[in-house]
Amino acid sequence: MINARIKTILLTLLLMIALPTQAIEGGIESLRETGKAFASVAQSVSPAVVFIQVEASAPNRGAAPAPFGEEWPFNDDFFRHFFGQPAPGGPPGRQPQQAPRAIGQGSGFIFRTDNGLFSKKTLILTNNHVVQHADKIRVKLPDGREFDATVVGRDALSDVAVIEIKASGLPALPLGDSSKLQVGEWVIAIGNPFGLSNTLTVGVVSATGRTGLGINDYEDFIQTDAAINPGNSGGPLVNIDGKVVGINTAIFSRTGGYMGVGFAIPINMVKRIAEQLIDKGHVTRGFLGVVIQPLTPDLAASFGIKQQKGALIAQVSEGSPAAEAGLRQGDIVVAYDGRQVADPGDFRNRVALTAPGSRKELTLIRDGEKKTVSVTIGKLSADKVAAQGPAQSAREIGLAVQTLTPDLAQQYGAQPGHGVIVTQVSPGSIAAMAGIQPGFIILQVDRKAVNNATEFNQAVKEGSADKRLVLLIRMGNMQRYIALSW
């Protein structure tokens, strides 16, 4: 009996010792399997990821940075697109030369879908800002082969571009479904940071549906902590199955390098844009004709509702599809085409991606009651705004501006699509000290015309490297230049 008890105790002790060892071994094996999964993705994806080098004429702006250099086009300590290294011969703009040239670099990937339209050509997806100023585009494959590329189509508002090379039999990447991405899901970024080809980094989806960042006109970013750096622009963000879920586009950075926050355009948006670029060479967007703003807790309370999701209509343009459908100032759009509206950015994107002439249903909250309205979406043109968001802020100089809608242009005696209107000036700011006031219309930044809020902010960021800007301001019937320096 005693021997049996001793045996039982010894067996129990042995099991207690063995369990942690088994747990450790199980954990190590799990890590091995995870590593093998990442390696498998790298092997299947990397052959279709390309290095893009572009050559462009650099504008001679004295001390200002040249295109595709380290700080162009967004000299901003918050968000940076990825352009790679400046042209050889030192920092751009500091050495005067005849007919300056600039060399930029980025990433891209050969792609395919089940659509026959895509399968007949060797097409590469990348960012618009990688190729928009290029005179010459050169694509280098991982196997060392190089090809000249031509632009099939590009869209500055979403920062998506499609280029083509004359080659056949190349590996291509399948496109996934970004709507199924979940926060915490593994994602893998592959590209050419700092010219280091086929660099792979791993992270997770930190957030989805990021809007209102001021990076692009139409935003719906995937946020990730996968390490991405200058040169990654246009490269794929893929899931653990090796399917592309986004295009790496921008980072949050105070140093110009990786700080744990990167942004990718979701592939579902990219697909819609790419289809139009391939078919027509440009993008046609839907138009509603409203000015919208976020539904803050205070605004929600003032309108007598509890929910904070949706888009508050602050203004309806006369003669617009919204006006014809009976939409009113103060309406809160909570659903579009049967799907809940998360915020103004989400609503604006979906309207813009709707084919003109389509009839859609909007679910509204008006005077505390739900109401369904049917609207025929119009066609967006240069002097219209799909669904105008809130004013955008230029923090460097201390003011906020908004695109001139037809209603605002009529009110201030201006032309829609020509200039931006100042909506707010921070007390004590550079703009305030220069005498700029709300209601002023800014027509040019550094002698470059600005036709919407995004162009204005981009021009400010480009010029702020010199700590000097020249604005052409309109006040009533008078125009004058104002120089800002800091």
Structural domains in the chain?
Answer: 38-281 (2.40.10.120), 286-379 (2.30.42.10), 392-485 (2.30.42.10)
Identify the pLDDT of residue 312.
86
Measured CA to CA, the distance from residue 425 to residue 482 in angstroms comes to 15
Name the catalytic one among 107, 233, 317, 429.
233
Identify the pLDDT of residue 3.
61
Identify the pLDDT of residue 363.
92
Those residues whose C-beta lies under 8 Å from the C-beta of residue 156, and which sit 6 or more positions away, are: 128, 132, 217
The closest alpha carbon to 107, from 32, 199, 183, 30, belongs to: 199
Query: Does residue 182 sit in helix, strand or coil?
Result: coil
Residue with tokens 């803050």: 296
Measured CA to CA, the distance from residue 72 to residue 22 in angstroms comes to 54
Name the catalytic one among 159, 217, 331, 346.
159
Question: What stretch of H or E contains 403?
Answer: strand 399-403
ω into 47 cis (within 30 of 0): no
Q: Per the structure block, which two tokens stand in for 54?
A: 């572009």
Identify the pLDDT of residue 326.
92
Q: What percent of the chain has pLDDT over 70?
A: 77
For residue 196, the number of C-alpha atoms closer than 13 Å in the C-beta half-sphere is 9
Query: Does residue 433 sit in helix, strand or coil?
Result: helix
Question: What stretch of H or E contains 17?
Answer: helix 2-45
Those residues whose C-beta lies under 8 Å from the C-beta of residue 34, and which sit 6 or more positions away, are: none
Measured CA to CA, the distance from residue 160 to residue 154 in angstroms comes to 6
Identify the pLDDT of residue 211.
76
Identify the pLDDT of residue 74.
36
For the chain, what is the largest distance between any 2 Cα atoms, rounded to a whole number of angstroms? 109
Strand 173-174 and strand 101-112: pairing?
parallel
The closest alpha carbon to 315, from 295, 299, 297, 293, belongs to: 293
Those residues whose C-beta lies under 8 Å from the C-beta of residue 45, and which sit 6 or more positions away, are: 173, 188, 190, 236, 238, 242
- pTM score of the predicted model: 0.65
Those residues whose C-beta lies under 8 Å from the C-beta of residue 208, and which sit 6 or more positions away, are: 178, 181, 183, 222, 223, 266
Cα angle 439, 441, 445 (rounded to 5 degrees) comes to: 140
Compute CA distances 328 → 110, 294, 304, 314, whole Å.
Answer: 46, 16, 17, 8
Measured CA to CA, the distance from residue 304 to residue 295 in angstroms comes to 12
Residues 342/326, Cβ–Cβ less than 8 Å: no
Q: Which residue numbers in the chain have pLDDT < 50?
A: 60-97, 113-117
Those residues whose C-beta lies under 8 Å from the C-beta of residue 166, and which sit 6 or more positions away, are: 122, 147
CA 339 to chain centroid: 22
Those residues whose C-beta lies under 8 Å from the C-beta of residue 155, and which sit 6 or more positions away, are: 128, 161, 273, 277, 282, 283
Those residues whose C-beta lies under 8 Å from the C-beta of residue 140, and which sit 6 or more positions away, are: 50, 51, 52, 53, 146, 197
Residue 367 annotated as catalytic = no
Residues 405/385, Cβ–Cβ less than 8 Å: yes
Cα angle 386, 456, 469 (rounded to 5 degrees) comes to: 175
Residue 233 annotated as catalytic = yes
Per-residue H/E/C for 316-357: ECCCCHHHHCCCCCCCEEEEECCEECCCHHHHHHHHHCCCCC
Strand 392-394 and strand 378-379: pairing?
unpaired
Compute CA distances 207 → 19, 54, 233, 428, whole Å.
Answer: 37, 32, 19, 36
Residue 159 annotated as catalytic = yes
Identify the pLDDT of residue 415.
79
Measured CA to CA, the distance from residue 250 to residue 223 in angstroms comes to 10
Q: Per the structure block, which two tokens stand in for 393?
A: 């802020």
Q: Per the structure block, which two tokens stand in for 15?
A: 């099991």
Name the catalytic one among 81, 129, 253, 429.
129
Residues 262/228, Cβ–Cβ less than 8 Å: yes
Identify the pLDDT of residue 82.
44
Residues 106/56, Cβ–Cβ less than 8 Å: no
Measured CA to CA, the distance from residue 386 to residue 351 in angstroms comes to 7
